[in-house]
Structure 1
Amino acid sequence: MGVTVRNAGLVHHVRMLRAGAGDPLVMLAQFRLSAVLVPRWGDEAVWSADQGGLRWIFAFSSEQELAAFVRSKGLPLDGFRYMTVLGSRLLDVAVPGLGVPGGIALDTAGKEPMLLPPLRGIVPDEVALDGPGMTGGMGVG
């Protein structure tokens, strides 16, 4: 892996939230300000997966978290392609660009993964499942 990315603040807020002592809005604000690593699929696409009727873009808080993900897929680390992106750009541009409901899956192969679902206050209202243009809505557990 090449670029050094450390997101101690983001990781701290995720841990606090998972422990029941954090503030979701503070964690979300920290994610938006953080540079995260996003694996690439081919030349232009970001790596994502469909689960539960949603498309999840994978993002990682550090090279170690990304490496754990790559290893979990049985892929070699050498030459693995990824890019560094601000969390806000993922939520405000990449998620709406999916063309289907989706969110961000952070550190999915790690000990403390976190999902940022497509809900108002996380993604733009026009692509949020509970936004004004959507019908039905969806609970997130």
Structure 2
Amino acid sequence: MEQPRTALAERIAERRRGVGDPRALVGEMRRSVLLVPTAGGGLWSARSGGVRWVCGFTDEAALARFALLHSAGDRPMDYAALLGARIVDEVVPSLDEPAGLAVDIATEDGPMFFPPVVGIVPDGVAVDTDKAGEGRGHGR
């Protein structure tokens, strides 16, 4: 029997169908508890396109799909349960490089990315800020 989707997974599915409000999706991400794999004392992340992506999962099934591809054998994958707001407001700024949040990267329909832009991450670390010298995407 299939697990019911979380509210965030439902919002992601809406956006994939071309409906739903992008602001509501960001709001739901901020309110949702995400499961973030841990490795080597930190949160699991990947770099792509000049951005470091912290990887979070909407539920244990989504995390399990990821663990099948990235864990060592039958060893369970450790993870932290964090609010999306904490990831984008606290974790992302602490990384000292352009960083965002990638949700459900091992899901069949594909991941949802929350890039390091104004309205998702704090303005001071957004790569698209208009202030000269502000944001980590300028001049690097």
The residue that corresponds to 2:99 in the other structure is 102
Structure 2 counterparts to residues 1-141 of structure 1, below 5 A = 8-43=6-41, 45-73=42-70, 75-76=72-73, 78-112=75-109, 113-131=111-129, 132=131, 133-134=134-135
CA distance in 1, matches of 2:100, 2:93: 9
Runs of 5+ unmatched residues, structure 1: 1-5
TM-score for both structures, normalised by structure 1: 0.86
CA distance in 2, matches of 1:134, 1:66: 31
Identity, % of aligned positions: 38
Following the alignment from structure 2 to structure 1, what is the Cα–Cα distance between the partners of residues 119 and 39?
28
Q: How many aligned residue pairs are there?
A: 131
Gaps of 5+ in 2: none
Q: Structure 2 length as normaliser, TM-score?
A: 0.87
The Cα RMSD (Å) is 1.8
1:9-53 CA deviation, whole Å, 9 max, x = no partner? 11110000111111110011001001110000112x100111001
Work out whether residues 7 and 34 of structure 1, in 8 Å CA contact, stay in contact via their aligned partners in 2. Answer: no
Q: Distance in 1 between matches of 2:11 and 2:23?
A: 10
